[in-house]
Structure 1
Amino acid sequence: MCRLLNIFLALLSRFLFAAHGVVTVWQVVTVKGEPLYWLLLSGVALLSVEMALTLKCTRNAEWKWFSPMVFLYLSTVIPSIWFLELSLLQSKLPVNDSSSHELHLLAHIPITADIEELGPENWVAGLEQTMLIVLVLGRWLMPKGDMSRDQLSQLLMVYVGLGADILDIFDTFKEPEVKGNRVVVIVGLALFSWALMQFPLVLTQTRASQDAPFLVYRLYLMIEEQVQNQLMIFFTCKNILIVLLELYRIFVVQFEQQCRGRQRLKSAKGSEFQFN
């Protein structure tokens, strides 16, 4: 029964990833007008092969240290988001009232009749937001493998916090001071890619290595680009607090280890003195 449940959850999570990956790549093809971009689906196309290998080679339907399923999904959506964001940057238009052939084909379907009213910027924002929801939900649904429920809950909370940081980076792209700055946008996309590539890691992650790059990026935007709003200040303060708390934790751990080392040394000397 447990094996059947794991198979069902494995199918459901991979279907969720595949569906979002197809929609994301479809939007890239729509914006670029080039069918060659369908090759971006190579990642999610391998999910069925990956699932078969995972179910055959693992006891709990999940690998211990690394999730190939999440990696394959990200190998599709990360390049797609890059193409979409760089297309928006190149157009320098907050809303491009595009009416492509693909969208017109969907206009007669009642449930998608309003899709062609969405501009590229709205599409990109929606795909980015749902991508993070899909990652958290998919990680929650997929078999937890050898992780305990406590470890899984900690990992999901880390993902939610990381997702909030990523979404705020995308919001900064809309700021007047940043909208046309190619270097800042590319650095932001690189930070987004680096952050997402931590999602395939199955083990619970620490927070210092996640927040420090976000802090440096936001401090640059505030000081150099003069991007100052409530969300920017809030997330900057949040990154500062997390980094300080992590440094404090490292200091406490090192201090306790040194104290235990001194205590063992004293105990060893006391035992040697009594022996003599």
Structure 2
Amino acid sequence: MFVGTAADILEFASETLEIEDVRKNHVLVYVILAVWTWSMLQFPLDLAVQHFGCSSSVSSKRVFSLLLSRHSADLWNIGISLFIQDGPFLVVRLILMGHFKVITQMLVFFTAKNILSVMLQLYRLIVLSLDFHASLRYQSSSRKGGVGCCPCDPNHISLPPNHCDIDGRECATIPLEDSLPVTAEC
């Protein structure tokens, strides 16, 4: 993945600027250099993922913060790809090919790579969204049945309050293996 990203960045700046028609257009050179500089922000913005505490009640106002607490690393990676790397590179390359009629093998190859990357990231975003909404539906239906779960951790399930652990807490959490349902006995 890093080799592909590095090749994409290298081609974007070096190969594209070597094209005679591109070098003659100073505005286009500045746009390419600006987008290339913008893409360099992805490296210092690669932050560590933080885990946030959660409560067992979910209101509609907290749904966005709940989504961020569950999938912050995935959303961060998708955002970096769409808004800092592949998205801007795709837009500039499509403008080069469509408006300025600049077509080279490398430009076509990396445009196809950017299209596939953007499609994959959008697919990942849709899957995360569907998974998140399904877990919220499961959580609300399990509460009606008397079983609650921590909304921040999809890999844990909480036992009903009558199954207290030794410390007397309201419920005990049991980690699930590979997110498969587990029945637990105290």
Normalised TM-score (structure 2): 0.57
TM-fit CA distance, 1:260: 0.9
1:264 paired to 2:108: no
TM-fit CA distance, 1:202: 4.5
2:82 corresponding residue in structure 1? 208
Q: Please give the alpha-carbon distance, in whole angstroms, between the structure 2 residues aligned to 1:166 and 1:267.
A: 48
Which amino acid in 1 is paired with 2:82?
Answer: A
Which amino acid in 1 is paired with 2:39?
Answer: A
TM-fit CA distance, 1:250: 0.6
Q: Please give the alpha-carbon distance, in whole angstroms, between the structure 1 residues aligned to 2:96 and 2:118.
A: 18
1:163 corresponding residue in structure 2? 6
Larger relative contact order, structure 1 or 2 (CA cutoff 8 Å, min sep 6)? 1
Query: Which string of whole-angstrom CA distances, capped at 9 and with x for unpartnered residues, describes residues 212-243 of structure 1?
Result: 00000000000011111111111001001001
**Alignment CA distance shift 1:187-1:248 (3 Å):** same
Gap runs ≥5 in structure 1: 1-156
Matches within 5 A, 1:213-224: 213-224=88-99
Q: Please give the alpha-carbon distance, in whole angstroms, between the structure 2 residues aligned to 1:223 and 1:245.
A: 23
TM-fit CA distance, 1:265: 1.0
Say if 1:218 and 1:236, in contact at 8 Å, map to a contact too: yes
2:129 corresponding residue in structure 1? 254
Count of aligned positions: 115
1:185 paired to 2:29: yes
TM-fit CA distance, 1:183: 0.7
1:245 corresponding residue in structure 2? 120
1:46 corresponding residue in structure 2? none
Q: Secondary structure at the match of 1:271?
A: coil
Which amino acid in 2 is paired with 1:214?
Answer: F
Say if 1:177 and 1:226, in contact at 8 Å, map to a contact too: no
1:63 corresponding residue in structure 2? none
Which amino acid in 1 is paired with 2:11?
Answer: D
Normalised TM-score (structure 1): 0.39
The structure that is helix-richer by fraction is 1
Say if 2:86 and 2:118, in contact at 8 Å, map to a contact too: yes
Query: Which string of whole-angstrom CA distances, capped at 9 and with x for unpartnered residues, describes residues 83-133 of structure 1?
Result: xxxxxxxxxxxxxxxxxxxxxxxxxxxxxxxxxxxxxxxxxxxxxxxxxxx
Q: Please give the alpha-carbon distance, in whole angstroms, between the structure 2 residues aligned to 1:192 and 1:263.
A: 44
Which amino acid in 2 is paired with 1:225?
Answer: F
**Alignment CA distance shift 1:237-1:198 (3 Å):** same
Say if 1:162 and 1:195, in contact at 8 Å, map to a contact too: no
TM-fit CA distance, 1:163: 2.2
2:38 corresponding residue in structure 1? 194
